[in-house]
């Protein structure tokens, strides 16, 4: 429209509105238009922030729309803000803080819900289900609230069905105690032994452990290096000894948990093995075997390297052999007799899975 045409239109409107009745109509026109013309409908809004491995707002919106069967632009006018947080130093679960705000002239009513899961993708599924439930039954969450009231944070945003399927994406919404899962650990150790063989000796140990928060079950195998004993000095008659054994122990930690960076542990268990000896420097060597059976107690300390699956451990063990028969060389006498108590010290490396 040109400048002269606009000027002519304004003069015509001014002339029309000079009359009494026509002036009233001109003044009331904006109010009538507001009542008659439709106002833009508000839609649900969603924002999300957190680590890269967690769903962003676009991905969450897709999951919610898939659950409710419609675009968010056609859903109820609720606002959702989601903040994902990574696991803490000794925790293994992601946390999501979901805040819901109702679009209202008085500023809205907020409600908050906290969810957690071991995997952030599963946690995103749980958040999308919670948002879908809020959009589907929003009156159950908000209609009973006064404009100036605020729901307690411990109450859910919506009234969930009484019989929800157990194999749906809502399963991660059920909180679990932090670190309640079992954690396998493998270990390799070098050790020194005093008492199992005629002289202090060395050996190696391989262990497997299954840890909960405060309890662990440990199975280990130990091999002591062969040891030679001579009765009358080098080259004289004697015997070669060897010991192979396995043990099973139950452990606990009196301070903290097995998820801590520094773990002190106490164990009680039993070990079984075979103590073997063969004569040397004699005309007719003979081999003898004895059952090795001993209860044991262990005290240890382990350190887990931060940010890795590796750790170091030191363990002191005391054993009380039940089979303590002498080993004899014919016509020469005893070459070994197990003591009442046997001690071992092990230094090992752990790997956590």
3-class DSSP assignment, residue 323: coil
Q: Given the structure tokens 């000027």, which residue do they identify?
A: 7
Flag whether pLDDT at 105 surpasses 70: no
Q: What percent of the chain has pLDDT over 90?
A: 33
pLDDT category at 77 given cuts 50, 70, 90 is confident
Structural fold of domain 183-352: Porin (2.40.160)
Reported as a single tens digit per residue, the pLDDT across 5-64 is 555 665 666 666 665 556 655 655 555 555 545 545 566 788 999 888 899 999 888 998
Residue of 269, 274, 282, 276 lying closest to 315 (CA atoms)? 269
CA atoms within 13 A on the CB side of 153: 7
Phi, psi of 320 (to 5 degrees): -125, 90
Residue 315, pLDDT score: 97
Domain residue ranges of the chain, discontinuous segments joined by +: 45-173, 183-352
Alpha-helical (H) ranges within the chain are 3-16, 20-36, 57-68, 120-136, 138-142
C-alpha span between 125 and 119 (Å, rounded): 10
**Joined tokens for residue 187:** 């270990």
Task: Give the burial class of 204: count Cβ atoms within 10 A of its Cβ; 0-12 exposed, 13-18 middle, 19 or more buried.
Answer: middle
Residue 68, pLDDT score: 87
Helical packing angle, 3-16 and 20-36, nearest 10°? 110
Phi, psi of 83 (to 5 degrees): -125, 115
**For residue 281, is it left (φ>0), alpha (ψ between -120 and 50) or beta?**
left
Residue 11, pLDDT score: 66
Reported as a single tens digit per residue, the pLDDT across 124-175 is 999 999 898 888 754 333 443 333 334 334 344 444 444 444 444 444 444 4
Residue 331, pLDDT score: 54
End-to-end CA distance of the chain: 76
Residue 161, pLDDT score: 44
**Joined tokens for residue 89:** 């130093």
pTM: 0.48
Flag whether pLDDT at 306 surpasses 70: yes
């Amino acid at each position: 429209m040109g400048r002269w045409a606009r000027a002519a239109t304004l003069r015509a409107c001014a002339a029309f509105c000079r009359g009494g009745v026509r002036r009233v109509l001109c003044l009331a026109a904006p109010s009538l238009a507001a009542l008659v013309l439709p106002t833009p409908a508000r839609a649900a809004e969603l924002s999300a922030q957190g680590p890269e491995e967690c769903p962003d707002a676009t991905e969450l919106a897709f999951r919610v729309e898939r659950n409710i069967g419609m675009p968010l632009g056609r859903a109820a006018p609720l606002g959702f803000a989601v903040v994902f947080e990574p696991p803490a130093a000794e925790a293994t679960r992601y946390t999501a803080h979901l805040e819901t705000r109702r679009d209202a002239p008085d500023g809205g009513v907020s409600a908050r819900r906290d969810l957690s899961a071991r995997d952030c993708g599963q946690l995103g599924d749980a958040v999308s289900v919670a948002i879908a439930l809020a959009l589907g039954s929003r009156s159950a969450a908000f209609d009973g609230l006064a404009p100036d009231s605020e729901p307690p944070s411990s109450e859910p945003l919506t009234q969930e069905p009484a019989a929800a399927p157990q194999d749906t994406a809502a399963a991660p919404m059920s909180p679990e105690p932090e670190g309640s899962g079992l954690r396998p650990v493998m270990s390799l150790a070098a050790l020194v032994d005093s008492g199992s063989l005629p002289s202090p000796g060395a050996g190696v140990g391989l262990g497997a452990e299954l840890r909960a928060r405060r309890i662990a079950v440990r199975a280990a195998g130990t091999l002591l290096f062969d040891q030679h004993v001579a009765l009358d000095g080098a080259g004289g008659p004697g015997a070669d000894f060897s010991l192979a054994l396995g043990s099973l122990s139950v452990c606990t930690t009196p301070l903290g948990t097995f998820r801590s960076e520094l773990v002190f542990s106490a164990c009680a268990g039993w070990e079984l093995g075979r103590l073997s000896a063969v004569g040397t420097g004699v005309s007719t060597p003979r081999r003898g075997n004895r059952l090795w059976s001993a209860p044991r107690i262990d005290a240890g300390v382990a350190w887990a390297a931060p940010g890795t699956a590796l750790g170091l451990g030191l363990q002191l063990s005391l054993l009380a052999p039940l089979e303590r028969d002498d080993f004899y060389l014919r016509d020469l006498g005893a070459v070994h007799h197990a003591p009442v108590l046997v001690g071992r010290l092990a230094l090992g490396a752990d790997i956590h899975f």
